[in-house]
Amino acid sequence: MAAATAAGLAPAFEFITAHPKDDPGDGALARAEALLAWRPPTRLAARAPRLVWIQSLTGGVEHWLASPDLPASAVLTCARGTHRLPMPEHILAALFLLAKHLDGIVLDQRERRWRRRVNDTLAGKTLGILGLGAIGAEVARKAAALEMRVIGTKRRPAAIPGVERVHGPEGTDAVLAAADYVLILLPSTAETRGFMNAQRLGRMKPTAYLLNFARGDLVVDGDLVERGPRFPPVSPSAWQSRHCLSWSTRAPCRSIRARA
């Protein structure tokens, strides 16, 4: 509401708000011409006959497109670019967590234990980004400033600042084979679900890390887990070892070492 007031829109429109977990109600939907929401309310088409515009609060809209209740006449727009700054900071935090063993340092601090550690550098390492969109391009720019070599894939290859080579989707295997850190930023579509399977995991270096900052369904969990048992964990968590980290919506912090 503050933004609408600042833009001078408040007097011209009726704004109805509801908690993201709550249904806005039949009365509100019956009057609505525009909807700003995380996900589609149930029976949206029948309950919102005047709806002409839907603005998703997320960059990915697969949950909207999969809904049988999406009004055919409504325009659907996504929030692409809204996470261009905060998400790369989370990704950089994950890179530093892995390279500097920050999880172990925090555990040592909690236990009041001193342990000398020799950490590797990010400088000189290769970051492979699968999905060089708005977030991927910003990650590349920041990673290049850390003296990392950045390569990646993009549906329509084009030069991107900080990226040494931009491959098309057909270059995925080359990126996987060369990267010390593989970052997944692909959208969730029929073509990408189950994208990181046993075959593609096998293309990675045995010492590489996998960071999934996309949807959880891009990684085949069973294939990821299957590649881990022969390697002993190096931290108290049985799900954590040094060389392959997968973060997703279904598995917020799971790490398994990739098998050679």
- CATH number for position 247: 3.40.50.720
Task: Answer whether residue 174 is part of any domain.
Answer: yes
Query: Residue 165 corresponds to which tokens in the numbers above?
Result: 């080579």
160, 59: one domain = no
232, 127: one domain = yes
Q: Which domain holds residue 117?
A: 86-255
103, 180: one domain = yes
93, 66: one domain = no
142, 226: one domain = yes
One pLDDT digit (tens) per residue for the chain, 260 residues? 677 778 777 777 888 888 888 889 999 999 999 999 988 999 999 999 999 999 998 888 888 988 888 888 899 999 888 888 899 999 999 999 999 989 889 998 999 999 888 889 999 999 999 999 999 999 999 999 999 999 999 999 999 999 999 999 999 999 999 999 999 999 988 899 999 999 999 999 988 999 999 999 999 988 888 875 433 333 333 333 334 444 433 333 333 333 33
210, 93: one domain = yes
97, 222: one domain = yes
* Count of positions (residues) in the chain: 260
Helices (runs of H) and strands (runs of E) counted in the chain: 10, 10
Distance of alpha carbon 198 from the chain centroid = 20
Cα separation, 182 vs 191, in Å, equals 19
What total of structural domains would you count in the chain? 2
139, 232: one domain = yes
11, 52: one domain = yes
133, 228: one domain = yes
**DSSP character string of 246-259:** E--SSSTTEE-PPP
pTM of the model: 0.77
- Please answer whether residues 134 and 84 qualify as being in contact, where contact means their C-beta atoms are separated by less than 8 angstroms: yes
CB neighbour burial string for 214-234, b if at least 16 within 10 angstroms, e if fewer: bbbbbbbbebbeebbeebeee
239, 116: one domain = yes
The letter for the amino acid at 181 is: Y
CB neighbour burial string for 52-84, b if at least 16 within 10 angstroms, e if fewer: eebebebbbbbebeebeebbeebeeebebeebb
122, 141: one domain = yes
